[in-house]
Amino acid sequence: MQLQQATAAGTAVRKPGIGRILQDTKYVFWREMLLVIRDPFSLIFSLVQPLVFLALFGPLLGAAVGAQAFGGESSLQWFLPGVVVMIALFGTSMTGSNLQYELMTGSYERILATPLSRSSLLIGRALKEWAPLVLQGLVIALASIPFGFVFYPLHVLFGLVVIGVFGIGLGALSYALALVTQGKEWVFWGVQQTLLFPLMILSGIMLPIEAGPRWMQVLSLFNPLTYMVNAERELFAGGLGWDTLWGVVAAVITAVVGLAVGVKVIKHSTV
């Protein structure tokens, strides 16, 4: 009887309640945010590539495709939302590499030795992805105003929130991939790169997917990133319609699936 009671007590300790998980998640979130705040240069340098795309690729886009492909908008108004989605795609899909570094140095094992629940370790890290994405997107949008970008404050802010939700799910999947491929960094980067570029091309980030062959247009319908790009373009143009709704749905589904997969992986990881 005493053994059964001890086992039950141990089980209660190992399975924290929702209040404990929320508290732990809050701690992990702020811990990760402090790392970003203490190293702001990494956030600043991450804006270099998007700015280069806007400055060098954007002007060529209008001349190569033609203004009619942008639905009456300027090439910058059409292209900038895609760049914001690109920031989310590249930034959050690579966050698992930070976890791999912690696994190699042993710092992750030291965190596991604390009373923090495993679920909170992943959820807190994934939620952290939201803040940098919103800040980066806002900086890019504001920096583009002198070059002809029409800034719709409420629509842009809502669009950044939506892309932040999407980034949470993608970041969680990246962390899960890092745990699954522990000790095999080349597998992590191989899977990441194999999925990254097809998703980007088929979403119409760089060029209008309508200009591609029919089979590419069909494949794009199964790409959640397509709905994100369409939603951001509608919002950044000051609109609010079905594209926005489908984008929100895609973002929420990605976040829910990403967090569910991530939590399951971290709970069953052997680290």
> Per-residue pLDDT tens for 127-139?
887 778 888 888 8
Give the Cα separation of 245 and 247 in Å (integer).
5
With 60 as the cut, is the pLDDT of residue 13 above it? no
Query: Sorting pLDDT into bands at 50, 70 and 90, what band is 187?
Result: confident
Residue 225's contacts (CB-CB under 8 Å, 6 or more residues apart) are: 85, 89, 199, 200, 202, 203, 205
How many residues does this entry show for the chain?
A: 271
Q: What is the pLDDT of residue 32?
A: 79
Q: Are 134 and 41 in contact (CB under 8 A)?
A: no
Domain boundaries, the chain: 22-268
With 70 as the cut, is the pLDDT of residue 213 above it? yes
With 80 as the cut, is the pLDDT of residue 225 above it? yes
Share of the chain above pLDDT 70, in %: 88
Query: Sorting pLDDT into bands at 50, 70 and 90, what band is 159?
Result: very high
Share of the chain above pLDDT 90, in %: 20
Per-residue model confidence as pLDDT tens digits over 25-67: 888 888 878 877 887 777 777 778 888 878 777 777 765 555 5
Per-residue model confidence as pLDDT tens digits over 162-178: 998 898 889 889 888 88
Q: Are 229 and 246 in contact (CB under 8 A)?
A: no
Nearest to 58 by CA among 237, 206, 238, 235: 206
